[in-house]
Amino acid sequence: MFLSFISRQPVKNTTAKKPSPGTDPARPATAGEPLLEKSRLSCRHLDVFYGAKQALHDISIDFSGNQVTSLIGPSGCGKSTFLRCLNRMNETIDICRVSGEIKLDGEDINRPEVDVVLLRARVGMVFQKPNPFPKSIRENVAYGPRIHGLARHRDEIDMIVETSLTRAGLWDEVKDRLDEPGTGLSGGQQQRLCIARTIAVSPEVILMDEPCSALDPIATARIEDLIGELKENFTIIIVTHSMQQASRVSQRTAFFHLGHLVEVGSTEAVFTTPRHHLTEEYITGRFG
């Protein structure tokens, strides 16, 4: 804690206590196909506790690159908690303890020597409520590249700002007002600004926690289109409460229930032929 204030070295140790289960062929008790042959990001036997209360139970799942995976499930089932494991944001919550193994490109992100600052540059996050900094639009996007030393000169920064805003589908709307405050944009524009800010540091994975729930249908549609375009370059994991949204934007879907990963499969399979009765009850709207 103390040291991390001055240096970029991670100090907090949340290493897995269990022996490396990466090669363990035993299938987890999750229906469908949680594990993949080739994956970008893989979790094994993930347990999360808030104090004495267990929020996630033995989660094992793989995510493959360049596709969108949606996480669905009733409120309080642990979707956000799971998402926060993937960029170690749970460390900012004092009472939260994580154990298990999470590998990004084969490297365990919970090892003490992993630099959480670099990890968060590789795994970006977009929040439910748009949260631009109270700075100019340009500064919002330029800030990440600047602190991570991705660009030194003014024109390099300008370049990143333009490409990020373009990829986030916001450039045409803001190119003449880059020096105006980001907080002056509409909600949907702010959320796209936050997405631009996230992709400006060239992450490999983008985590989105209900990114559209504060937006109107038109702004939502724009973000959904954007997600479809972004998946060409990024691995995207999105939490959503809308099953229509999950089926529109994602190729794979994972269903959580009471801290357990109940079922994972192609979005089509999960929504048309669910294997677990809880999944079926949820998608047919019988609870949640």
C-alpha closest to that of 79 among 283, 215, 262: 262
Number of residues that bind ligand ATP (CB under 6 A): 12
The binding track of 128-167 with respect to ligand ATP, each residue x by CB under 6 A or -, is ----------------------------------------
**Of 83-122, which residues contact ligand ATP (CB under 6 A)?**
93, 95
User: Does 7 sit near other proteins (CB under 8 A)?
Assistant: yes
Binding residue for other proteins, selected from 46, 89, 104, 109, defined by CB under 8 A: 89
Per-residue CA distances from 269 to 38, 176, 238, 258 (Å): 20, 45, 18, 22
User: Does 70 sit near Mg ion (CB under 5 A)?
Assistant: no
Number of residues that bind other proteins (CB under 8 A): 37
User: Does 69 sit near Mg ion (CB under 5 A)?
Assistant: no
For the bound state, the minimum distance from the C-beta of residue 221 to ligand ATP, rounded and expressed in Å, comes to 22
User: Does 135 sit near other proteins (CB under 8 A)?
Assistant: yes
* Residue 29 vs 147, nearer CB to other proteins: 147
Binding residue for ligand ATP, selected from 24, 27, 76, 187, defined by CB under 6 A: 76
User: Does 78 sit near ligand ATP (CB under 6 A)?
Assistant: yes
State the Cα–Cα distance between residues 33 and 219, nearest whole angstrom.
Answer: 33
Residue at shortest CB range from Mg ion? 80
Amino acid at 212: C
Binding residue for ligand ATP, selected from 42, 70, 80, 235, defined by CB under 6 A: 80
Find which of Mg ion, other proteins, ligand ATP, none residue 148 binds, CB within 5 to 8 Å per kind.
Answer: other proteins
List contacts with Mg ion (CB under 5 A): 80
* Binding interface with other proteins (CB under 8 A): 1-2, 4-8, 87, 89, 92, 94, 116-121, 124-125, 127, 129, 131-136, 143-144, 147-148, 181, 183, 194, 197-198, 201
**Residues at the contact surface with ligand ATP, assessed by CB under 6 A:** 50, 55, 73, 75-81, 93, 95
